[in-house]
């Protein structure tokens, strides 16, 4: 494949960190222009620190990290520290990274990096609340036509919700931002819980990662080990879903995923169902041919894990 220019917008977060290790281990395929962070799983200071920490462990301080939104567009912040630990990185030992954040706000950096390149040439992976991208679209309305594909981890249809009965965390944490992005006309591929619940780190898969002798694999084994314990204690089961790494796997190997055109709307007003994604498959042929949003229905999970083992061994 040709090398893809990419911005990763995230809220690390245990599974965001796994996604970052996967992406940072793929320099032949991904030209990572920046990692941008927002408040989400933990507060904005910690998500920016965690992104810098992962970049240092991965030996990729060439990639700039821009800190962004400290609060959602409208609603109050809602953290998910019970799933990610107080630091956001579970039991991974944390430290103050050597290199600072890059100057400027994440939303401005997204605008500059995308507007400075040819139309359609910069993709994004968004693995947290979509606050930074919504702010960037507000700052520069021409951004929507300029962006390449935005690969989003968020939402749910068949699987209901994971933070409320009907909402997935990333959309629930900033439904108004998701609404701005999905209405913007930007081309999106969306990996909701319907897709990520197919991609589970079983004990056998975790053991295989733990047996790989690299810093990235050891760190990922610690991160997934933490998520496995949380899965046992809070959810039931021993195989946590790999939500955020699915975005990077899609960018590296889209053929491992089945995506269909949909209409997708976000509930922003109801207190009961805020953050719900109404995903409509029933589009006529004309609507389907121009639909900017595609929803992932199937994942070749065994092949995605093979890709993960191969990258973490590098
Ligand atoms: C999403 O919520 C966060 O807690 C995870 O990092 C992931 O992005 C899953 O619903
Ligand atoms: Ca995340």
Q: Sign of the CA dihedral 123, 222, 162, 236? A: positive
**Over the stretch 250-269, which tens digit does the pLDDT of each residue have?**
999 999 999 999 999 999 99
Phi-psi region of 59 (alpha: psi -120 to 50; beta: other; left: phi over 0): left
**Cα 217 to chain center, whole Å?**
19
Rounded to the nearest angstrom, the distance between the alpha carbon of 289 and the centre of ligand 1 is 30
Tell me how far apart the terminal alpha carbons of the chain are, to the nearest angstrom. Answer: 18
Q: Give exposure, 250-267, as e/b (b: 16+ Cβ within 10 Å).
A: bbbbeebbebebbbbbbb
Question: What confidence category does residue 228 fall into, taking pLDDT thresholds of 50, 70 and 90?
Answer: very high
Tell me: pLDDT of 207 over 80: yes
Pocket test for ligand 1, best of 12, 128, 245 (most atoms within 8 A of CB): 128
Name the closest-CA residue to atom 10, ligand 1.
169
**Over the stretch 11-58, which tens digit does the pLDDT of each residue have?**
999 999 999 999 999 999 999 999 999 999 999 999 999 999 999 999
Domains plus CATH for the chain? 4-312 (3.90.245.10)
Pocket test for ligand 1, best of 8, 22, 39, 40 (most atoms within 8 A of CB): 40
Q: Which ligand is nearest to the CA of 167?
A: 1
The stretch 238-243 carries a mean pLDDT of 98
**Over the stretch 271-313, which tens digit does the pLDDT of each residue have?**
999 999 999 999 999 999 999 999 999 999 999 999 999 999 9
Rounded to the nearest angstrom, the distance between the alpha carbon of 213 and the centre of ligand 1 is 27
Q: What is the pLDDT of residue 217?
A: 98
Half-sphere exposure of 60 (CA within 13 A, CB side): 25
Q: Phi and psi for 15 in degrees, rounded to 5?
A: -75, -25
Rounded to the nearest angstrom, the distance between the alpha carbon of 63 and the centre of ligand 2 is 19
Question: What confidence category does residue 1 fall into, taking pLDDT thresholds of 50, 70 and 90?
Answer: low
Question: What confidence category does residue 80 fall into, taking pLDDT thresholds of 50, 70 and 90?
Answer: confident
**Ligand 1 atom with minimal separation from the 168 CA:** 10
Q: What is the pLDDT of residue 2?
A: 84
Burial class (CB in 10 A: 0-12, 13-18, 19+), 65: buried
**Ligand 1 atom with minimal separation from the 80 CA:** 4
Q: Which ligand is nearest to the CA of 242?
A: 1
Question: What residue ranges line ligand 1, CB within 6 angstroms?
Answer: 13, 15-16, 41, 80, 83, 127-128, 153, 162, 168-170, 243-244
**In this structure, what token pair is assigned to residue 153?**
């981890």
Q: What is each CA distance from 195 to 152, 169, 221, 295, in whole angstroms? A: 11, 15, 22, 9
Enumerate the H helices of 74-168 as residue ranges.
81-84, 106-115, 131-139, 143-146
**Over the stretch 87-138, which tens digit does the pLDDT of each residue have?**
999 999 999 999 999 999 999 999 999 999 999 999 999 999 999 999 999 9
Most distant pair of Cα atoms in the chain: their distance? 54
Answer whether 30's CB lies under 8 Å from 23's CB: yes
Rounded to the nearest angstrom, the distance between the alpha carbon of 170 and the centre of ligand 1 is 6
Return the active site residues.
243
**Ligand 1 atom with minimal separation from the 13 CA:** 6
Rounded to the nearest angstrom, the distance between the alpha carbon of 16 and the centre of ligand 2 is 5
The stretch 139-165 carries a mean pLDDT of 97
Q: What is the pLDDT of residue 82?
A: 85
**Ligand 1 atom with minimal separation from the 83 CA:** 4
**Cα 222 to chain center, whole Å?**
19
């Amino acid at each position: 494949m040709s090398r893809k220019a990419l911005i990763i917008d995230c809220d690390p977060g245990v599974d965001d960190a796994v996604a970052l290790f996967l992406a940072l281990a793929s320099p032949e395929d991904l030209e990572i222009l920046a990692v941008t962070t927002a408040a989400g799983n933990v507060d904005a200071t910690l998500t920016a620190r965690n992104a810098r920490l992962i970049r240092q462990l991965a030996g990729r301080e060439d990639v700039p990290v821009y800190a962004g939104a400290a609060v959602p567009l409208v609603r109050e912040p809602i953290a998910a520290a019970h799933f990610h630990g107080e630091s956001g990185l579970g039991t991974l030992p944390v430290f103050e990274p050597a290199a600072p954040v890059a100057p400027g706000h994440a939303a401005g950096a997204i605008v500059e990096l995308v507007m400075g390149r040819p139309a359609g040439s910069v993709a994004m992976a968004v693995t947290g609340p979509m606050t930074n991208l919504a702010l960037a679209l507000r700052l520069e309305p021409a951004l929507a036509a300029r962006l390449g594909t935005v690969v989003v981890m968020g939402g749910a249809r068949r699987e209901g919700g994971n933070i409320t009965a009907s909402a997935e965390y990333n959309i629930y944490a900033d439904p108004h931002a998701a609404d701005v992005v999905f209405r913007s006309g930007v081309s999106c591929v969306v990996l909701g819980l319907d897709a990520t619940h197919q991609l589970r780190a079983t004990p056998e898969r975790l053991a295989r990662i733990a047996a790989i002798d690299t810093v990235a694999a050891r760190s990922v084994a610690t991160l997934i080990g933490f998520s496995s314990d949380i899965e046992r204690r809070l959810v039931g089961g021993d195989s946590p879903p790999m939500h955020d790494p699915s975005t990077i796997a899609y960018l590296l190997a889209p053929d491992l995923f089945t995506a269909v055109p949909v209409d997708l709307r976000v509930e922003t007003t109801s207190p009961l169902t805020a953050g719900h994604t109404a995903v409509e498959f029933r589009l006529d042929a004309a609507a389907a041919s121009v639909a900017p949003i595609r929803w992932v229905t199937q994942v070749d999970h065994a092949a995605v894990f093979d890709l993960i083992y191969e990258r973490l061994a590098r």
